[in-house]
A and B are shown apart, each in its own frame.
Chain A
Amino acid sequence: MSKITIPIGPQHPALKEPASFKITLNGEEIYSMDMRLGYNHRGIEKACEQRTYIQSLYLIERICGICSHSHSTAFTQAVEELAGLQVPKRGLYIRTLIAELERIHSHLLWLGVAAHEVGFDTLLMYTWRDRELVMDHLAELGGNRVNYAVNTFGGVRRDLTPDEIAHILKDMDTLEERTKYYAQVATEEATLIARLSKVGVMSKTEAETLGAVGPTARACSVDRDVRRDDPYAAYPDVQFKVCVDDHCDVYGRVLVRVNELFESYSIIRQLLKNLPEGPIAVKAPRRMPAGEVFSRYEAPRGEDCHYIKGNGTDKPDRVKIRAPTLANWRAVRKMIEGNYLADAPIVIAAIDPCFSCTDRAIELVRPHGGEVLTWGALRQFGIEWHRRHGLDFADLNKKFSQRMERVK
Chain B
Amino acid sequence: MTAEETIQSELVAQFPFLAEKFRVQRARRLWAEVPADKFDAVVHHLFEKMHFIMLCAITGLDEGATFGLVYHLGVPSGMMLSLKVSIPREKPEWKTLIGMFPGGELYEREVADLLGVKFEGLPAGLRYPLPDDWPDNEFPLRKDWQPKHAVAPAAPAGEVKS
Knowing A41-B130, A211-B103, A294-B29, the reply to whether A307 touches B57 (Cβ < 8 A) is yes
Bound complex: CA of A313 vs CA of B146, how far in Å? Answer: 21
Find out whether the CB atom of A38 lies under 8 angstroms from the CB atom of B72: no
Q: Is A305 interfacial (CB 8 A cutoff)?
A: yes
Cα separation A208 to B103 with both chains bound (whole Å): 9
Give the distance in Å from the alpha carbon of A43 to the alpha carbon of B141 in the complex: 9
Say whether A386 faces chain B, with CB atoms less than 8 Å apart: no
A384 contacts the other chain (Cβ, under 8 Å)? no
Selected from B28, B104, B130, the residue in CB contact (under 8 A) with A211 is B104
Cβ distance A168 to chain B, nearest Cβ, rounded Å? 30
Chain A residue with Cβ nearest B100? A209
**Which of B14-22, B38-46, B74-82, B85-93 lies at the binding interface?**
B74-82
Q: Mark B114-130, 1 if CB is under 8 A from A, else 0.
A: 10000000000111111
Give Cα A224–Cα B76 distance, bound, in whole angstroms.
7
Chain B nearest CB from A218 CB (Å) reads: 12
Q: Is the CB of A37 within 8 A of B70?
A: no
The B48-95 residues at the A interface (CB cut-off 8 A) are 53-57, 59-61, 70, 72, 76-78, 80, 82
**B126 → chain A closest CB, angstroms:** 5
Taken together as a complex, chains A and B put the C-alpha atoms of A209 and B126 apart, in Å, by 21
- Cβ-based interface call for B4 (8 A): no
Best-surrounded residue of A34, A209, A307, A331 (most CB of chain B within 10 A)? A307
- In whole angstroms, how far apart are the Cα atoms of A208 and B29 in the complex? 21
CB of B130 within 8 A of CB of A320, answer: no
Given contacts A41-B129, A307-B59, A322-B57, contact A209 B140 (CB under 8 A): no
Q: Is the interface of B mostly helix, strand, loop or mixed?
A: mixed
Contacts of B104 in A (CB 8 A): 211
A-B contact count (CB 8 A): 87
The minimal Cβ–Cβ distance linking A322 to chain B, given in whole angstroms, is 4
Pick from B56, B60, B76, B77: contact of A322, CB under 8 Å: B56
- Residue contact A303 to B61, C-beta cutoff 8 Å: no
Asked if A35 is at the interface (CB within 8 A of a chain B CB), the reply is yes
B80: chain A residues within 8 A (beta carbon): 230, 294, 296
Alpha-carbon separation in the docked complex, A309 to B28 (Å): 18
Known: A292-B31, A305-B57, A322-B56. A34 touches B106 (CB 8 A): no
Q: Which residue of B lies closest to A292 (CB)?
A: B31
Tell whether, in the assembled complex, residue B56 and residue A36 are in contact, meaning their CB atoms are under 8 Å apart: no
Nearest-neighbour CB distance to chain B for A71, whole angstroms, equals 14
Given A327-B103, A331-B103, residue A34 in contact with residue B70 (CB < 8 A): no
Render A219-257 as a binary contact track against B, CB cut-off 8 A, 1 for contact: 000111010011000000000000000000000000000
Interface size on A, residues (CB 8 A): 40
Within 8 A of A (CB), among B114-162: 114, 125-131, 140-141
Give min CB distance, A337 to chain B, whole Å. Answer: 14
Residue A357 lies at the interface, judged by CB distance under 8 Å to chain B: yes
With A211-B55, A305-B72 as given contacts, are A46 and B105 in contact (CB-CB < 8 Å)?
no
Q: Which of A34, A39, A43, A209 contacts B103 (CB 8 A)?
A: A209
- Decide if A46 touches B141 in the complex (CB within 8 Å): yes
By the criterion CB–CB under 8 Å, are A212 and B129 in contact? no
The answer to whether B59 and A318 have CB atoms under 8 Å apart is yes
Interchain CB contact (< 8 A) of B53 among A35, A45, A208, A226: A208
Interface: A326 (CB within 8 A): yes
Given contacts A292-B31, A320-B59, contact A38 B103 (CB under 8 A): no
Instruction: List the B side residues contacting A230 at CB < 8 Å.
Output: 28, 78, 80
Residues of B within 8 A of A208 (CB): 53
Whether the pair A37, B106 counts as a contact (CB closer than 8 A) is yes
* A210 lies within 8 A of chain B by Cβ: yes
* Residue A53 at the chain B interface, CB threshold 8 Å: no
The yes or no answer to A157 lying at the interface (CB within 8 A) is no
- Binary contact track A6-42/B, C-beta < 8 Å → 1, others 0: 0000000000000000100000000000111111010
CA distance A358 to B160 in the complex (A): 33
Interface residues of A in 301-328 (CB under 8 A from B): 303, 305, 307, 309, 318, 320, 322, 326-327
Per the bound structure, the CA–CA distance linking A128 and B80 in Å amounts to 37
| B59, B82, B101, B102 pick with most chain A CB within 10 angstroms | B59
Nearest 4 pairs of A and B residues by beta carbon: A211-B103, A38-B129, A322-B57, A229-B78
7 further contact pairs, Cβ within 8 A, besides A37-B128, A294-B72? A34-B126, A38-B127, A305-B57, A307-B70, A307-B82, A318-B61, A329-B106
- Give residues in B with beta carbon < 8 Å to A: 25-26, 28-29, 31, 53-57, 59-61, 70, 72, 76-78, 80, 82, 101-107, 114, 125-131, 140-141
A sample of 27 cross-chain residue pairs with beta-carbon separation below 8 angstroms, ordered by A number, consists of A34-B125, A36-B128, A37-B129, A38-B130, A38-B131, A39-B131, A43-B140, A46-B140, A46-B141, A81-B26, A209-B101, A212-B103, A226-B78, A230-B80, A292-B82, A293-B25, A294-B82, A296-B56, A305-B72, A307-B59, A318-B61, A322-B56, A322-B72, A326-B106, A330-B102, A330-B105, A331-B103
